[in-house]
Amino acid sequence: MVGPGLKLRYILAVLLVGALLTAGVAASVYLAEHAERRELASVERELRALAATDPRLDGPHDRLRDVVEQGYDDRVASIAISGILLTLAAGLVIFLLMRRIDRALNSLMDNAKSIGLGGHTEPVGVSGVAEVAALERSLEQMRQALATTTISRDYLDDVLNGISDAVLVTTPGGTVQTANAAAGALFGLPEQELAGVTFSELIAPDHLAAFDFAKLKAEPGETVIRTERGQTIPASIHVSPLSGQAGSNRGRILVLRNITDRKRAERRIRYLARFDTLTKMPNRMQFQHLLH
């Protein structure tokens, strides 16, 4: 978008150039008129001398003088008025052209912003302004290239939200950058509010000391998380490195799953293996376990 100050400078420049041209033309006409007036003055003196000998020349002499003076007086004024009007018209034309270019630039900025946010489906509009046509073609070529080589942000969000497990993308320092809808449901927070939270803050305090990213990179493990309401939930966790170009470390991808039902089933199986379901008394396996 062209700033108001730049528009004003362009318009003032046009008005200044128009005023200088008008002044130059008017000055040239005035100097030429001054020379012509001297020539006419000598002619007028000759006519006056002839009129002194022939009274019939008095009337034509006076009319000729009035016509000449009126013509010269109106000429400079006409040039000045015409120059001012043409200068104002040129300023108006420049203003309209700049406003048209301004609208085209605003449209280009909106298209560039949309492309930056992942909107690669809508083609770049053609404004018809020759001054920005090359920019429009370049931006459209960039949009087409991005549409064929990258995945849009909306598509990536749909993929992440389609995963039933909680997915968190963190920085190398453990700060959450992206979370899917399942992660928001697991922690009791909207996924947008999880961004910026350190993952260690999501671990139950009693289990934080045993939590180790290095071990989890080697093999999946388990931990206990704490929800927004303070509830603790056992969860399995898988950690994968997020590598960038040239093998650079861009962070981690964490996949968590609520294993409350599994833990409850494991406790039930252990109980059934060591206690009689009818009498609730310990069986032989429980006695052996207590003896050892």
User: Mean pLDDT score of the chain, rounded to an integer?
Assistant: 80
221-268 pLDDT per residue, tens: 999 999 989 999 999 999 998 887 766 788 999 999 999 999 999 888
Q: What would the mean pLDDT of 188-194 be, rounded to a whole number?
A: 90
Q: How confident is the model at residue 14 (pLDDT cuts 50, 70, 90)?
A: confident
Query: What DSSP string describes the chain?
Result: ---HHHHHHHHHHHHHHHHHHHHHHHHHHHHHHHHHHHHHHHHHHHHHHHHHH-GGGHHHHHHHHHHHHHHHHHHHHHHHHHHHHHHHHHHHHHHHHHHHHHHHHHHHHHHHHHHHTT--SSPPPP---GGGHHHHHHHHHHHHHHHHHS--HHHHHHHHHT-SSEEEEE-TTSBEEEE-HHHHHHHTS-HHHHTT-BGGGGB-HHHHTT--HHHHHHS-EEEEEE-TTS-EEEEEEEEEEEE-GGG-EEEEEEEEEE-HHHHHHHHHHHHHHHB-TTT--B-HHHHHHHH-
| pLDDT beyond 60 at 77 | yes
| pTM for the whole structure | 0.51
16-74 pLDDT per residue, tens: 787 777 777 777 776 776 666 666 666 666 666 666 665 665 566 566 666 566 555 56
pLDDT of residue 133: 83
